[in-house]
Structures are given as structure tokens and as C-alpha cells.
Amino acid sequence: MDPDAFGRLTERIARFLGTGRYLLFQTVVVVVWILWNTTAPHHWRFDPWAPTKFIFLTLILSLQASYSAPLILLAQNRQDDRDRVNLEADRDEARQSKADLEYLARELAAIRMALGEVATRDFLRSELARVEAAREREEERVD
């Protein structure tokens, strides 16, 4: 038997109890109950106290409420547990992303420092241009 089967069942019931369809269904049941027990012949009525107090209807609605509230709380607790697990996973992912970002920042800084010691393309071009100019001057002096 699946240990989460009851939890999933409570979530489905709680999800149904929070819908407009359920409210409409319950309203229709209550209206039919009241109409049946006030207009039907006395021997067809199933709520003998219906014309004055609707005690049986009150008992049924109280029983339904006494089961609905704990089922909704169970479903909320399961959702809270899932939210807690998701939040912890999000925190772990954020920590890992931060660590990765810090590592990449350090690596980028190290590359920038290393590039400071390396001759760049612009530096080489300027040096070649300077050497070329010096060679041309030397050739002019020789001629």
C-alpha cells in the first residue's frame, strides 16, 4: 500500500471542497432537502423534524464540516511540507550558483592579472611600427 495514498486522497477532496462546483452541489442538495421535507407527504419525509428545525439536515452539515476541516488541514500540511522541501532546494541552488559565480569572478580576475603581463596585439603593433620607423630612418641615413 502506498503510504501517500491517503494524503493524495485528502488533497483531492480538499481541492474539490474549494471549488464553485462543490458549493453549487451543496446548495442544490440543501435546497432539495428543504423542499422535499417541507412539501412532500409526511410519510415520504426522511427528516421528521423538517417543518420547524431541520435537525437532521443540521446534523448532516455538521458531520460534513467536521470531516472537511481536518481533511483540508491535512492537505495544507502536505503542501507546507512540499513548499519547505522546494524552498530548501531553491536555497541549495542559490548557494551553489553563488559559489559558482564567486569562482568565475576569481578566475576572471586571475586572467586579467595574467593578461597584464602578456603583450597585447596593440602593443605588438605599436612596437612593430616603432621598429619599422627606426629601420626606415636608418635606411635613409645610409642612402
Residue pLDDT, tens place only, 17-75:
888 898 999 999 999 988 888 887 878 877 777 666 788 888 889 999 998 888 888 88
Q: How confident is the model at residue 9 (pLDDT cuts 50, 70, 90)?
A: confident
Nearest partner of 13 among 3, 22, 25, judged by Cα: 22
User: What are the helix (H) ranges across the chain?
Assistant: 5-17, 20-39, 55-116, 121-142
Nearest of 63, 71, 85, 80 to residue 9 by alpha carbon: 71
Q: pLDDT, tens digit, for every residue of 63-86?
A: 999 988 888 888 888 889 999 999
pTM: 0.54
Please tell me the predicted confidence (pLDDT) of residue 91: 96
**Cell numbers 471549488 label which residue?**
19
* Burial class for 37, CB neighbours closer than 10 Å (0-12, 13-18, 19+): buried
Dmax (CA) for the chain in angstroms is 136
- The mean predicted confidence, pLDDT, of the chain is 87
Residue 140 pLDDT: 86
pLDDT band at 16 (very low <50, low <70, confident <90, very high): confident
Is the pLDDT higher at 1 or at 130?
Answer: 130
Q: How far apart are CA 4 and CA 81, in angstroms?
A: 13
Would you kindly state where each structural domain of the chain is located, as residue ranges? 5-118
